Amino acid sequence: MKRILLVNGAELIAFILLACIPLAVSNSYVLGLLTLLAIYGILLIGLDVSVGYLGQVNLGHAAFLGLGAYAGGLCVMVFGFSMLPALLASLLVGFVFGGLLAFPALRLEGPQFALATLSFSALTATTLNELESITQGAQGLQVDRPLLFGLHLGPQAFFWLCLVLLAFTWIAMKNLLSSHWGRAFEALRDSPIATDAMGVGVFRHKVAAFALGSGLGGLAGGLYAFNFQFLQPSSFVYELMVILLLGVVLGGRKSLWGAFVGACLIVLLPNLLSNRSLFQAFSFIGLFIALVAGTINIRKQRRISFQVAAPIVSMALLVAGSLLVQNTEDWRKAIFALMLFSVVVGLPEGLMGFAEKQLTRLFKVPARPLPDATELEAVLPKQEDTGLLLELIDVKRHFGGIKAVDGVSMQVQGGHIHGLIGPNGSGKSTLVNVISGLYAPSAGQLRLHGEELPKGSLFKVSQAGIARTFQNLQLFAELSALENVMVACAGAYKKSLPLVLLGFAYAEEKRAQADSLALLELVGLAGDARTKAKDLPYGAQRFLEIARALARKPKLLILDEPAAGLAHPDVLKLNEIVHRIRARGITTILIEHHMSVVNEVCDFVTVLDEGKIIAQGLPDEVKRNPRVIAAYLGDSKESSYSSRKLGETPLLRVEDLHAGYGASEVLTGTSFEVRAGSVVALIGANGAGKTTTMRVLSGMLKPTSGKVLLEGKEVQQLDASKIACLGLAHSPEGRKIFAPLSVEDNLLLGAYTRLPKVFGFRTKASIDLEKVYALFPRLFERRKQAAGTLSGGEQQMLAIGRALMANPKIILLDEPSMGLAPVIVQEVFVIIKKLKEAGITLLLVEQFAKSALEVADYAYVLEHGRIAVEGTPEELAKNERVLAAYLG
Of 469 and 847, which has the nearer Cβ to other proteins?
469
Taking CB under 8 A as the criterion, the residue among 92, 298, 344, 709 binding other proteins is 344
129 belongs to the binding site for other proteins (CB under 8 A): yes
Beta-strand pair 443-448/451-452: antiparallel
360 belongs to the binding site for other proteins (CB under 8 A): no
Of 496 and 789, which has the nearer Cβ to other proteins?
789
| Site residues (CB under 8 A) for other proteins, limited to 136-165 | 137-140, 142
Interaction pattern, residues 721-760, with other proteins; x per rule: CB under 8 A: xx-xx---xx-x---xxxxxx---x--xxx-xx-xxxxx-
Quote the CA–CA distance of 521 and 539 in Å, as a whole number.
15
Beta-strand pair 664-675/650-661: antiparallel
The distance of Cα 114 from the centroid of its chain, to the nearest Å, equals 19
Taking CB under 8 A as the criterion, the residue among 307, 445, 575, 872 binding other proteins is 307
Of 332 and 511, which has the nearer Cβ to other proteins?
332
Residues linked to residue 22 through DSSP beta bridges, in sequence order: none
338 belongs to the binding site for other proteins (CB under 8 A): yes
332 belongs to the binding site for other proteins (CB under 8 A): yes
Dihedral of the alpha carbons of 847, 851, 855, 858, in degrees to the nearest 10 = 50
Interaction pattern, residues 167-206, with other proteins; x per rule: CB under 8 A: --------------------------x-------------
Quote the CA–CA distance of 434 and 444 in Å, as a whole number.
11
Interaction pattern, residues 782-821, with other proteins; x per rule: CB under 8 A: --------------------x---x---------------
Quote the CA–CA distance of 589 and 408 in Å, as a whole number.
15
Taking CB under 8 A as the criterion, the residue among 255, 297, 471, 851 binding other proteins is 471
Q: How does DSSP assign 734-789, residue by residue?
A: T----TTSBHHHHHHHHTGGGS-SSSSHHHHHHHHHHHHHHH-HHHHHTTTSBGGG
Interaction pattern, residues 838-867, with other proteins; x per rule: CB under 8 A: ------------------------------
Give me the phi and psi of 555, to 5 degrees please: -80, -35
Of 138 and 583, which has the nearer Cβ to other proteins?
138
Taking CB under 8 A as the criterion, the residue among 79, 130, 535, 830 binding other proteins is 130
CB 683 to other proteins: min, Å: 22
249 belongs to the binding site for other proteins (CB under 8 A): yes
333 belongs to the binding site for other proteins (CB under 8 A): yes
Sign of CA dihedral 75, 79, 80, 84: negative
Half-sphere exposure of 2 (CA within 13 A, CB side): 5
Total binding residues for other proteins by CB under 8 A?
128
CB 130 to other proteins: min, Å: 5
Interaction pattern, residues 37-66, with other proteins; x per rule: CB under 8 A: x-----------------x-x---------
Give yes or no for a contact between 352 and 258, defined as CB atoms under 8 angstroms apart.
Answer: yes
CB 701 to other proteins: min, Å: 10
Q: How does DSSP assign 372-415, residue by residue?
A: PPPPHHHHSPPP---SEEEEEEEEEEEETTEEEEEEEEEEEETT
- Cα distances from 17 to residues 11, 34, 174, in angstroms, run 10, 11, 20
CB 80 to other proteins: min, Å: 19
Of 120 and 858, which has the nearer Cβ to other proteins?
120
Taking CB under 8 A as the criterion, the residue among 7, 11, 19, 21 binding other proteins is 21
Quote the CA–CA distance of 812 and 803 in Å, as a whole number.
9
123 belongs to the binding site for other proteins (CB under 8 A): yes
Quote the CA–CA distance of 546 and 557 in Å, as a whole number.
9
289 belongs to the binding site for other proteins (CB under 8 A): no
CB 871 to other proteins: min, Å: 30
74 belongs to the binding site for other proteins (CB under 8 A): no
Quote the CA–CA distance of 831 and 746 in Å, as a whole number.
19
Taking CB under 8 A as the criterion, the residue among 8, 275, 496, 789 binding other proteins is 275
Taking CB under 8 A as the criterion, the residue among 96, 242, 499, 883 binding other proteins is 242
Q: How many residues does the chain have?
A: 888
The distance of Cα 55 from the centroid of its chain, to the nearest Å, equals 11
Quote the CA–CA distance of 197 and 488 in Å, as a whole number.
9
